[in-house]
Amino acid sequence: MTEETRKGSELAARSRLPPFLREPAMPGLILMGALIAAGFLILLLTWAGAAGTLYVPLQMPHIVSGGLGGLALIGLGGGLLYLQRGRRDDATHRRLTDELIDEAAALIAIEPEIRRRLAPKRAGARRKR
């Protein structure tokens, strides 16, 4: 399979995806959501394991290992989600800044034409007075 054929098949596969899955960040967001969900699932299983044991010293290993593991997964998923949101906001800010710079450059490019068109009107306005 040549490089062009492989790229073409990847594009065809992407075009069959629903629009919200075509976004490049979506696989990462799905992974982060799965980490958070797994953390809550581990906390739920930890609670169920500790609740099934009447003797308190035997509940502690469940609570410590499952609780720390679940909280670590929730924290990892939340931290990654926060970083991804920051990257997305920075990309949006960069795109808007680039658009603003392009518009300002276009205005600077047409500024002599605007001055030329307005110059006769200003001279005519002074003569009427």
Model pTM above 0.85? no
Distance (Å, whole) CA 40 – CA 74: 7
| Beta carbons of 34 and 74 less than 8 angstroms apart | no
Residue-wise pLDDT tens digits, 54-64: 888 888 988 99
Q: What is the dihedral of CA 113, 116, 118, 122, to 10 degrees?
A: 160
Contacts of 72 (CB under 8 A, 6+ apart): 39
Residue ranges covered by each domain of the chain: 25-128
Residue-wise pLDDT tens digits, 80-92: 999 999 999 999 9
